[in-house]
Amino acid sequence: MNLHSNADQAEIAKFDRLSKIWWDTAGKMRMLHVINPLRARFISDQIDVPNPKILDVGCGGGILSEALTRSGARVTAIDLSQPTLQAARLHAEAHGLEIDYRYLSVEQMASTAAGSFDAVTCMEMLEHVPQPGVVIDACARCLKPGGRAIFSTINRTPKAFLFAIVAGEYLLRLLPRGTHHYRMLIRPWELREWARDSGLEFSLSASLMYNPLTRKFQVARGKEDVNYMACFIKNE
Ligand code: SAH
C-alpha cells in the first residue's frame, strides 16, 4: 500500500502551508480551538474504557490529540503533512505531553496494527480525501471488537454550503479560504453506509451548531446539520 494512494496532494499541500498557525488560537484555526472542548467531551462520553488507547487519524497540529491525552487517553496520532506533524510534536513536547505522532496513512496503520485501539477518531479529515470509504474501512480495522469510531465532517447540503463555505470562509472569515470543496462534503447517509460496509454499527450523531450572534457552538444530539459528528461501534 502506497503511503499516498488515498491522499489528495493538493489538500496535503494546503495543510503543509498552514503548519505554523495550528496553535494560534486567535488565527485561522481558531474554530477548531473553539469547538475542541465540545468534541473532546463528546468523544470521551462514547468511550467506556479507562485510559483508552486512541488512534487520531488526520491529527493536524494535535489540537484534539492533546485534549484526549490530557483526559487520560494514550494517543497515537497520524497525518500525511510532515510540517504539520512537526508542529504537533514541538507543541506536545513544550507542554510535556506524550503523544506518539507518526507520518503514516491509516491504511498502513491498519495493516500493521489491526485490532489494537479502543477508539479511533477521524475529525474534519474525511472531506479532504479522495476515497473516504477506504479511510473509514481502515479506521474500522484498527479497532478492537466493540471499539468506537468517531468521525466528524460537514454535510453536503445547500445550507452547509452557505454556512460552512460562504459564511465560514468568505463572510465571517472563520476559516482559511479554500478549506472546503462542496463536492467533497459528505452526507450522513453516505458516512453510515461506508461505516456499515466496514462492520461499524451506528451509535449516535450530533451537530455542532454555531450561533453567529453569541459566536458560540453547542452540541445538538441527534442532529446532522452542517458540522456533524457520528459515533459507531465495531461489531464484536
Ligand atoms: N483532525 C484534526 C485536523 C483536521 S484538518 C482536527 O480536527 O483538529 C485535516 C487534516 O487531515 C490535515 O492535517 C491533513 O494534513 C490531514 N489529511 C488530509 N488527507 C489525509 C490523508 N489521506 N491521510 C492522513 N491525513 C490526511
Ligand 1: which of 125, 136, 181 to mutate, judged by most atoms within 8 Å of the beta carbon? 125
Whole-prediction pTM value? 0.96
Structural domains in the chain, sorted by start? 9-234 (3.40.50.150)
Query: Residue 3's pLDDT band (boundaries 50, 70, 90)?
Result: confident
Ligand 1: which of 21, 66, 80 to mutate, judged by most atoms within 8 Å of the beta carbon? 80
Angle made by CA atoms 15, 89, 127, in degrees to the nearest 5: 30
Give the chain as a DSSP string.
--TTTT--HHHHHHHHHTGGGTT-TTTTTHHHHHHHHHHHHHHHHH--SSS-EEEEET-TTSHHHHHHHHTT-EEEEEES-HHHHHHHHHHHHHTT---EEEE--HHHHHHHSTT-EEEEEEES-GGGSS-HHHHHHHHHHHEEEEEEEEEEEE--SHHHIIIIIIIIIIIS--S-TTS--GGG---HHHHHHHHHHTTEEEEEEEEEEEETTTTEEEEEET--SSEEEEEEEE--
Query: Residue 5's pLDDT band (boundaries 50, 70, 90)?
Result: confident
**Residue owning the nearest CA to atom 16 of ligand 1:** 58
SS (HEC) of 128-189: HCCCHHHHHHHHHHHEEEEEEEEEEEECCCHHHHHHHHHHHHHHCCCCCCCCCCHHHCCCHH
> Is 138 close to ligand 1, i.e. is its CB under 6 Å away?
no
Task: Quote the ligand 1 centre to 79 CA distance (angstroms).
Answer: 6
> Is 11 close to ligand 1, i.e. is its CB under 6 Å away?
yes
**Residue position matching grid coordinates 485561522:** 28
The pairing of strands 117-123 and 143-154 is parallel
For the chain, the distance separating the N- and C-terminal CA atoms, rounded to the nearest angstrom, is 27
Task: Quote the ligand 1 centre to 102 CA distance (angstroms).
Answer: 12
Query: Residue 216's pLDDT band (boundaries 50, 70, 90)?
Result: confident
Query: Residue 1's pLDDT band (boundaries 50, 70, 90)?
Result: low
Dist. CA 111–CA 132, nearest whole Å: 17
Residue 56 confidence (pLDDT) above 70 = yes
Between 3 and 218, whose confidence is greater?
218
**Residue owning the nearest CA to atom 11 of ligand 1:** 58
For the ranges 31-35, 41-45, 170-174, the one whose mean pLDDT is highest? 41-45
Q: What is the pLDDT of residue 172?
A: 82
Task: Quote the ligand 1 centre to 87 CA distance (angstroms).
Answer: 13
Q: What is the pLDDT of residue 198?
A: 98
Dist. CA 215–CA 217, nearest whole Å: 7
Task: Quote the ligand 1 centre to 56 CA distance (angstroms).
Answer: 10
